[in-house]
Amino acid sequence: MLDKGYHVYGTYRRTSTPNFWRLQTLDVFSKIDLISADLLDMGSMMEAVKVSDPDEIYNLAASSFVGSAFEQPVGNTEITATAVTKLLETIRFLNPNCKFYQASSSEMYGNSGTNSQNESTIFKPASPYAVSKLYAHWMTSIYRKSYDMFASTGILFNHESPLRGLEFVSRKITNAVAQISLGLKKELFLGNLDAIRDWGYAPEYMEAIHSILQQDKPDDFVISTGESHSVREFAELAFSLVGLDSKKFIKIDKRFFRPLDVNYLNGDSSKAKETFDWKAKTTFKDLVKIMLDEDLKKWKMYVDGKTFPWDAPLYPNDLRVITRQNDKNSKDHIKSEEKT
């Protein structure tokens, strides 16, 4: 947005310890205006829209980690689903000419049983998060049709970068592989290695969502690479890039299995290609390398005692985090991938 000459406002949720490391990493923290807002408080969202008086709103806010949605299904619904209705109502009352983008998710497809998923594929959500995203997706469509609002959605498949949170399996892998290669860690604990996803590079996907709001008419678009790989492939590739055998370091922990998982996702973004000539450019191997190289670079800087905005040292050891859907004595269930 900044590169395109926009005056950018960003909302943030007030916490006891502010965390803007991603904005600092991108060197944009001092270039945008921040507005404190809460998705559960319609008044604060009304204030945000009134203060910024925007031409475009990109709603990327959600409780975005699928695993936590099983832990906190009610909160996830309020934040990811019903908050979108509040935001749409705010726009309808205060700024009906504003263009609105809703971040929908490939998780909405669930286990659809199809070889690829496009805008017409049936939705079969398999998590509280996916159901919440589907609610928001349909509400955006309803407001578009009912009130002639410019309200579009992007059904984005997994999009990754070095800024991805450590709770997500992609960054969890590259961060751990970087530590292991430097002798800072001995093992990588994972759940379902056979889950297959369509992984793309986040910066390219952000270009796509901007293009979605520049169209003459609001619509829904799938954004994906059209190529899928398993979690196992992701881990094996990351370890191979540092000359290590993944089987020597990967351990399976039942705590990281979801109560209900999506087995396979593969997006068909032909509509985006035909409408505004968007196509993913970064290959799967290049994506893994980009993420791994950045984690390697930062762990080396960390070892050297350098300071910089970063999330990794702040995260708790995930082996100490108890999840209610799995046995508290989860360490008893840990076994090597070989034995599995």
Please give the positions annotated as active site. 105, 107, 129
47 backbone dihedrals φ, ψ, rounded to 5°: -65, -40
The residues, any chain, with a CB within 8 Å of residue 194's CB and separated by 6 or more, are 230, 231, 232, 263
One-letter amino acid identity for 152?
A: S
105 neighbors 136 (Cβ within 8 angstroms)? no
In whole angstroms, what is the distance from residue 105 CA to residue 134 CA? 8
In whole angstroms, what is the distance from residue 152 CA to residue 101 CA? 5
If you count DSSP H runs as helices and E runs as strands, how many of each does the chain have, helices first? 11, 13
What is the distance, to the nearest Å, from the Cα of residue 128 to the centroid of all Cα atoms in its chain? Answer: 15
Instruction: Name 227's bridge partners.
Output: none
Instruction: Name 57's bridge partners.
Output: 100
Q: How many residues does the chain have?
A: 340
CA proximity to 269, closest of 103, 59, 116: 116
Task: Return the H-helix or E-strand segment holding 151.
Answer: strand 151-156
Task: Return the H-helix or E-strand segment holding 59.
Answer: strand 56-59
73: phi > 0 → left, psi -120 to 50 → alpha, else beta; which?
alpha
69 neighbors 126 (Cβ within 8 angstroms)? no
Q: What is the DSSP letter of 193?
A: T
What is the distance, to the nearest Å, from the Cα of residue 304 to the centroid of all Cα atoms in its chain? Answer: 31
